[in-house]
């Protein structure tokens, strides 16, 4: 649950977002906020406000060109490599953190920033907040890509059979593994490089699952 003051802050933030994104991107962002509201109720109700802030802010630089993304990286002192340029879709998650610090400092705490930073690629050892934004971005209800539809169906079907928090955590982990499998498969089919954080995220979750089986 969020307080009245937090609800008012979210409403004010929501009104500012169209200055950065519009059209389908804005519709998607509002869908991510709706989805993460549901996910927070299941996994992290005490951080609903921060998760919804992260959802609203996660794509604020998504509509910029690669050259604009690189200019922001230079302006904010964000390091990148020539190899990173081969995966241009990762840059908006990097530059969004700089824009949040600059334009939305009242929301620039580490919880929000890390969730935004890794919502596209994931990473090894993701925090719960990072996992929830990553998943919300993938399965929000306006997404109609086959993988998104399949992952959404899988998650909520499996969640319906989860009776304990341990079971719910396992569903989240298995859903994330499946999402990384889908992402990596698609990138391979497209002949596109895979961001290092993405395969490290997948490996970490699989290893975590295997270690848990041995306990």
- φ/ψ of 143, rounded to 5, equals -75, 125
Nearest to 119 by CA among 98, 139, 133, 100: 133
Each residue's pLDDT tens digit, 118-140:
999 999 999 999 999 999 999 99
Contact of 37 with 80, CB cutoff 8 Å:
no
DSSP per residue, 55-94:
HHHTTTTTTS-HHHHHHHHHHHT----TTGGGSGGGHHHH
User: DSSP class of residue 166?
Assistant: H
- Res. 1 pLDDT band, cuts 50 70 90: confident
Collapsing DSSP states into helix, strand and coil, what is residue 195? coil
> Considering the chain, what is the average pLDDT of its residues?
96
| pTM for this predicted structure | 0.96
Q: What does the pLDDT look like over 67-104, one tens digit per residue?
A: 999 999 999 999 999 999 999 999 999 999 999 999 99
**pLDDT for 147-192, tens place per residue?**
999 999 999 999 998 989 999 999 999 999 999 999 999 999 999 9
d(CA 113, CA 108): 6
């Amino acid at each position: 649950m969020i307080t009245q003051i937090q609800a008012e802050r979210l409403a004010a933030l929501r009104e500012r977002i169209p200055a950065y994104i519009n059209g389908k991107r804005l519709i998607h962002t509002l869908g991510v906020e709706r989805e993460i509201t549901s996910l927070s109720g299941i996994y992290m109700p005490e951080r609903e406000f921060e998760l919804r802030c992260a959802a609203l802010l996660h794509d604020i630089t998504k509509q910029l060109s690669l050259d604009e993304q690189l200019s922001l990286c230079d302006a904010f002192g964000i390091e990148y490599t020539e190899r990173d340029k081969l995966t241009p879709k990762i840059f908006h998650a990097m530059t969004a953190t700089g824009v949040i610090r600059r334009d939305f400092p009242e929301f620039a705490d580490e919880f929000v920033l890390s969730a935004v930073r890794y919502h596209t690629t994931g990473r090894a050892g993701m925090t719960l907040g990072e996992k929830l934004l990553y998943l919300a971005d993938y399965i929000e209800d306006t997404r109609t890509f086959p993988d998104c539809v399949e992952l959404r169906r899988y998650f909520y079907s499996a969640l319906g059979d989860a009776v304990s928090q341990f079971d719910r955590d396992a569903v989240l982990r298995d859903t994330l593994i499946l999402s990384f499998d889908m992402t990596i498969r698609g990138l391979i089919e497209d002949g596109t490089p895979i961001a290092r954080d993405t395969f490290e995220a997948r490996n970490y979750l699989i290893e975590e699952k295997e270690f848990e089986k041995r306990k």
